[in-house]
Structure 1
Amino acid sequence: MSSSAANQQAYGRRRKSPYMVAIVLAMVMFILVAPEVNDGDAMSPTINDGQILVVSKTSYSQNRGIPERDQLVILEKNATNAQKVSDDNIIARVAGLPGETVEIKDGKVYIDSKEYITENGIEGSDGEMSVTLTEDEVFLLCDNREEYIDSRNEKLGPVNMRDIKGNVLFCVWPFSRFGGID
């Protein structure tokens, strides 16, 4: 093989290399994350209708780890009881963790008798209820507390952690809201 032919082959490999890296990265990203379009105002003002989010494909269980309080998670529409509440995936905030007691009374939410207010100041809820979560359950709340497509809805109730599709990482659309979400 002549030096010229070898140089051309090396040049061709170097030229194709960025494309191969991009394809491999895209495949890895597809395995680890997914896009999610928010449908509705249940998480307003934190997430608005039509925002496009990037969601990690994280599965939870007592053995694999539990989500953190205040973490925004996606409940798959095909999950147990979720289809009774919504025609789409449900985005909500983890309020109650396994083993805790969630109580709603007098317009406030209490977790183990302590008032629950999110880090960004969202608080309260109407209605009355009390539930103690099992070791495999979490209690989800929407930020727009007028919407009842979360664990307050008796058709959904506390959510088994295995039914959580993943958690919200950041927003990609609209560009004005690009970045992390609290």
Structure 2
Amino acid sequence: MKIFKKNHYPAYLEDDLSVGKQAAIFVWEIFKVVVISLAIIIPVRYYLIKPFYVKGASMEPTFYDHEYLIINELSYHLGSPVRGDAVVFKYPMDPTQYFIKRVIGLPGETVKIADGEVTIINSANPQGVTLDERYLDSTAKTIGDIEVTLGPDEYYLLGDNRLASLDSRVFGPVKEDFIVGKTLFRGWPISRAGLITNNLEYNL
């Protein structure tokens, strides 16, 4: 005996299959698809990823003005930022604005900027190590004469375009809870679209 599986619709839809009822069934199916889609999309949008629009030249040549990026917000719920991560964060002077910079100094470290170079002093390198930042434009020196020791939840963030970046040299260290997430994917322009790697290697 062949058993046919019956679709389960609300009772008021099951009495006949008139044109009107067929339309109602169609609407009901669309409704279910929309609800299920929203149940997936909303958590992803608000808790996992975030779109970001690059404004300005502060991260050139890594990111250019008007590029569209996808930010991984989950990463820092599972771990902490590491040196070299390109991160989106709330601007400390106005948390309604979002900036993008690179993590240079980690909690507890001392960051020293002098003679166009960045030196990191930490427990493993008490005499300090000058960062080898080969991803930067060779002509872009890090302007400033600064020495700052970071707190237990503070990061020092700099733009890759050191000659034209509003960053920690101006507004100081950024607390970890201001950091939203790290760059994951470039969606626009199409010619540069693709996954973004943050696995930079430093000489310390």
TM-score w.r.t. length of structure 1:
0.78
State the superposition RMSD in angstroms.
3.3
Q: Is structure 2 residue 123 aligned with structure 1 residue 107?
A: no
Distance across 2 between alignment mates of 1:115 and 1:129:
14
1:42–1:144 contact (8 Å) kept in structure 2: yes
- Relative distance call for 1:116 and 1:157 in structure 2 (3 A) is same
1:60–1:162 contact (8 Å) kept in structure 2: no
Q: Is structure 2 residue 179 aligned with structure 1 residue 170?
A: no
Pairing of 1:61-140 with structure 2 (within 5 A): 65-77=79-91, 79=92, 82-83=93-94, 88-112=97-121, 113-118=128-133, 120-121=135-136, 124-140=141-157
Q: Secondary structure at the match of 2:160?
A: coil
- Relative distance call for 1:87 and 1:43 in structure 2 (3 A) is farther
Tell me the matched-pair count.
171
Q: Is structure 2 residue 50 aligned with structure 1 residue 41?
A: no
Structure of greater Rg: 2
2:159–2:166 contact (8 Å) kept in structure 1: yes
Alignment identity in percent?
33
Give the aligned residue type for 1:125: T
Give the aligned residue type for 1:72: A
TM-score w.r.t. length of structure 2:
0.70
Partner of 2:196: 181
Offset from partner CA, 1:5-31 (integer Å, 9 cap, x none)? 92596x979887765553333123212
My pick for the range that moved more, 109-118 or 140-149, is 109-118
Q: Which fold has the larger relative contact order, with Cα–Cα distance below 8 Å and residues 6 or more apart in sequence? A: 1
Q: Which runs of 5+ in 1 are unaligned?
A: none
Partner of 2:72: 56
TM-superposed CA distance for 1:145, in Å, is 0.3
Distance across 1 between alignment mates of 2:189 and 2:62:
13
- Relative distance call for 1:127 and 1:8 in structure 2 (3 A) is closer
Distance across 2 between alignment mates of 1:18 and 1:148:
45
1:171–1:177 contact (8 Å) kept in structure 2: yes
- Relative distance call for 1:130 and 1:5 in structure 2 (3 A) is closer
Partner of 2:125: none
Q: Which runs of 5+ in 2 are unaligned?
A: 10-24, 122-127, 198-204
